Amino acid sequence: MSIDIHGVLAPGYEPLRAAFEENFAQRGELGAAFALIRDGEIICDFHAGWADRARTRAWGDDTLVPVFSSGKAVTALVMAWLVDQGRLDYEAPVSALWPDFAAEGKGAVTIAQALSHQAGLPGPVDGIEPADWFDREKMEAHFAAMAPMWTPGDGSGYHPLSFGVLADAIARRADTNGRSVGSILREVIAGPRGIDCHIGLPEDQHARAAEHVLPPRAPDLGTITPETKAAFLNPGSSPGRRGAAAWRSAELPAANAHATALSLARLMAPFACEGRLDGEAFLGREALSAALKPRTAGPDRVLPFDLSFAAGVMINRDSAAFGPEPRAVGHYGFGGSCVFADPERGLSGAYVMNRQMDVLVGDDRAKALIEAAYACL
């Protein structure tokens, strides 16, 4: 199978193109893009395939992709900016900003714990319908009142969607203008720099978004526990019943960032390049160190993995999910998307696609590209 690949690739990185071609020839790719940046230099930014299931719309350099949980890393960057601005302290209790959150013994839960999936609120247990996720105030009130499902701070239990509710509630109460995560991204970080990443996609941009092909089967969630049910399987565990347009337009900071691969690689650069974004100072040393500090490690209560989290990003350790560097951080998204940052090598990258697979972490297509990238260094 031959595939037309469009974009740029630096000399010496030809194995990246070969790996990208193999994803189409051997791994069932429909449409995809990959971008890699090192110390501010774009190493590659290429795309190929189709943006729709019917194969009538070619993937372009401005095709946007919903990247699901890979967007958590973007939210983590927004929160780190708030810390750098002196508006947040990772060690402060959430309840200092949001007093209602102290209910049911959550008064001591820190912002760092909330961002590292340790708050004990992986999803709603009852009383929530899919359409309720589009009601910001209702979801905030629900999780503020909810009793934690384990002792907060006693290890992680992945919060697939509630992570975004908590982060956004904290951000709006911390920001001097009361802005949401999506608004800060648009007004302060991405918008002024022309970075094509959105949490809350304007309706006039919906036509640029790729269509997804769902995975062939549901991901393996391991042993189904009450925490797993709350996170993924209860009737109100995820948003729905409002249609695709409403979902794209909503601000769901844990789950519906829309972006190009290059925009995500640029946004991951501060985590790889001592706080620099597009080569300019963005995060100070102290805020960056606090953002990337390991907050928890061990068996996760929701996902069937041994995981380590910083304040909103996964830490690679020896998993090889983000390449060979243990200090690398990043995130995977439902279906296979991936963002990563390697602070040892000044390397950041992103893989986005529209044919979803049933792998939760470590999609073979993303790993093939990351492994090819490191082989070229």
What would the DSSP string read from start to end of 22-65? HHHHHS--SEEEEEEEETTEEEEEEEEEBSSTTS-SB--TT-BE
Question: pLDDT for 220-236, tens place per residue?
Answer: 999 999 999 999 999 99
pLDDT over 70 for what percent of the chain?
A: 100
CA distance 345 to 223: 37
CB contact at 8 A, 152 and 118: yes
Question: pLDDT for 111-130, tens place per residue?
Answer: 999 999 999 999 999 999 99
DSSP E strand stretches across the chain: 6-9, 31-38, 41-49, 65-66, 197-198, 258-259, 276-277, 280-281, 296-299, 306-309, 314-315, 329-332, 338-342, 347-353
Question: pLDDT for 286-324, tens place per residue?
Answer: 999 999 999 999 999 999 999 999 999 999 999 999 999
DSSP 117-146: T-SS-SS--SS--GGGGG-HHHHHHHHHHS
Same domain, residue pair 319 and 288: yes
Same domain, residue pair 150 and 225: yes
What pLDDT, on a 0 to 100 scale, did the predictor assign at position 156? 98
Identify whether 196 is part of a domain. Answer: yes
CA distance 114 to 129: 23
Same domain, residue pair 232 and 279: yes
Q: What is the mean pLDDT of residues 245-262?
A: 97
HSE, CB side, 13 Å, CA atoms: give it for residue 157.
24
Write out the residue range of the structural domain in which residue 14 sits: 1-63
CB contact at 8 A, 170 and 99: no
Domain boundary among 36, 63, 90: 63
Same domain, residue pair 55 and 80: no
Where does the pLDDT of residue 95 fall: very low under 50, low under 70, confident under 90, or very high at 90 and above? Answer: very high
Which CATH number does the domain housing residue 75 bear? 3.40.710.10
What pLDDT, on a 0 to 100 scale, did the predictor assign at position 104? 98
Domain boundary among 10, 36, 63: 63
Identify whether 377 is part of a domain. Answer: no
Three-state DSSP state, 332? strand
What pLDDT, on a 0 to 100 scale, did the predictor assign at position 364? 97
Q: Is the pLDDT of residue 24 over 90?
A: yes
* Amino acid at position 39, single letter: D
Same domain, residue pair 169 and 305: yes
pTM for this predicted structure? 0.98
Identify whether 373 is part of a domain. Answer: no
Identify whether 7 is part of a domain. Answer: yes
Catalytic annotation, pick one of 2, 69, 183, 348: 69
Same domain, residue pair 36 and 138: no
Mean pLDDT rounded to a whole number for the chain: 97
Q: Is the pLDDT of residue 37 over 60?
A: yes
- State the virtual CA torsion across 74, 35, 7, 192 in degrees, nearest 10: 30
Same domain, residue pair 180 and 250: yes
Same domain, residue pair 11 and 131: no
Q: What is the mean pLDDT of residues 171-186?
A: 98
CB contact at 8 A, 165 and 139: yes
Active-site residue 337, yes or no?
A: no
Q: What is the mean pLDDT of residues 11-37?
A: 97
Q: Is the pLDDT of residue 2 over 90?
A: no
User: What CA–CA distances, in Å, run from 62 to 43, 182, 259?
Assistant: 18, 20, 9
What pLDDT, on a 0 to 100 scale, did the predictor assign at position 179? 98
What total of structural domains would you count in the chain?
A: 2
Q: What is the mean pLDDT of residues 350-355?
A: 98
Give me the sign of the Cα torsion angle 67, 69, 75, 80. Answer: negative
Same domain, residue pair 40 and 110: no
Q: What is the mean pLDDT of residues 144-160?
A: 98
What pLDDT, on a 0 to 100 scale, did the predictor assign at position 1? 55
CA distance 29 to 355: 6
Identify whether 352 is part of a domain. Answer: no
pLDDT over 90 for what percent of the chain?
A: 99
Same domain, residue pair 50 and 118: no
Identify whether 365 is part of a domain. Answer: no
Identify whether 292 is part of a domain. Answer: yes
Crossing angle of the two packed helices 71-84 and 162-174, in degrees rounded to 10: 20
Same domain, residue pair 56 and 73: no
The per-residue b/e assignment along 108-128, b for 16 or more CB within 10 angstroms, e otherwise, is: ebbbbbbbbbbbbbbbbbeeb
Same domain, residue pair 79 and 45: no
Identify whether 307 is part of a domain. Answer: yes
